[in-house]
Amino acid sequence: MTPAAPRPLELDHVSRRDALWDLSLVVVVALLFPVGLNLAGHLFAGAEQARWPAEGYFTAAKWLDALLVVVLTAYLVRRHHLSSAAFGLQTEALGRQVLWAAGTLVGAYAALIPTVMMIGLLVLLFPELHRDLDRRLEFIEVIPIHRMGDTLLLLGAVAIHEELLFRGLLMPYLRRVGCGWGGAVVVSASLFAALHVAQGWLGIVQVFPIGVALAVFFVLSRSLLAVILAHFAFDFLQFQLIRVLLPWIEQNWPPA
């Protein structure tokens, strides 16, 4: 009798004790360690350095982060003799996964639009929030929005790193240690938003619902490829919008 194929996003034969250990490893190695290195670099640079490093830093750092998460995933698959489908990595029905990517992209924008409207209202009501928008503009100035090759290189690394970590690894392990899918969605989206704290509190507020949308569609589609493609397309469209609007923003910000 042929054994049943492993169910996507399920870690049935990994004990809860092993799952808790693996989850701790993921958090420490793939999340806390890179963040700690980044903070140490800023402290070592000192206050006299610019708030943001040179453009190439982000692309190189993101590809290193992506490589670290890929290697960690390969280790976990090998350690437990898992199918890659346990983390949403499927090679079957590619057309269906691409369709799910399109739906995920729509879901991300459905989460973004009301959030942007809410942020706009908050900024109008509380002018002190202008400082957060200033931080986001500083960040935009050092990302390669005007060079297509550099843009694609950066966004590819971002999509692979963030989706494999926050959706592919964290969510199945969170479920295995006792979280329901709802709890896994909230925790994953919260950590995903916290990663963007350098863009200010408004950045966290904006990113959280997008993280929820990506996580929900990851559970529905059981496809990591779908959310990676959707994340890449979402960021690419945002970069193009920023590129078009940036001259107007620079001329009219801060408001009189």
Return the pLDDT at 167.
Answer: 97
Predicted TM-score (pTM) of this structure: 0.90
Return the pLDDT at 47.
Answer: 44
User: Judging by beta carbons within 10 Å of its beta carbon (0-12, 13-18, 19+), is residue 179 exposed, middle or buried?
Assistant: middle
Q: To which H or E segment does residue 126 belong?
A: none
Return the pLDDT at 197.
Answer: 80
Within the chain, where are the H helices?
16-25, 33-45, 55-80, 94-125, 130-140, 148-162, 170-176, 181-194, 201-221, 224-252
* Tokens 């090679």, located at residue: 91
* Measured CA distances, 57 to 62, 80, 140, 143 (Å): 8, 35, 14, 10
How far, rounded to the nearest angstrom, does the alpha carbon of residue 117 sit from its chain's CA centroid? 22
What is the rounded average pLDDT for all residues in the chain?
Answer: 86
Return the pLDDT at 103.
Answer: 98
> CA neighbours within 13 Å on the CB side: how many for 20?
6
Regions in the chain scoring below 50 on pLDDT: 1-3, 45-50
Torsion of CA 120, 255, 199, 152, to 10 degrees: 90
Q: Residue 254 — left, alpha, or beta (φ > 0 → left; ψ -120 to 50 → alpha)? A: beta
Return the pLDDT at 42.
Answer: 54
Return the pLDDT at 55.
Answer: 58
How many Å apart are CA 251 and CA 59, to the nearest integer? 28
How many Å apart are CA 164 and CA 5, to the nearest integer? 22
Say if residues 231 and 111 touch (Cβ distance below 8 Å): no
Domain ranges of the chain: 16-246
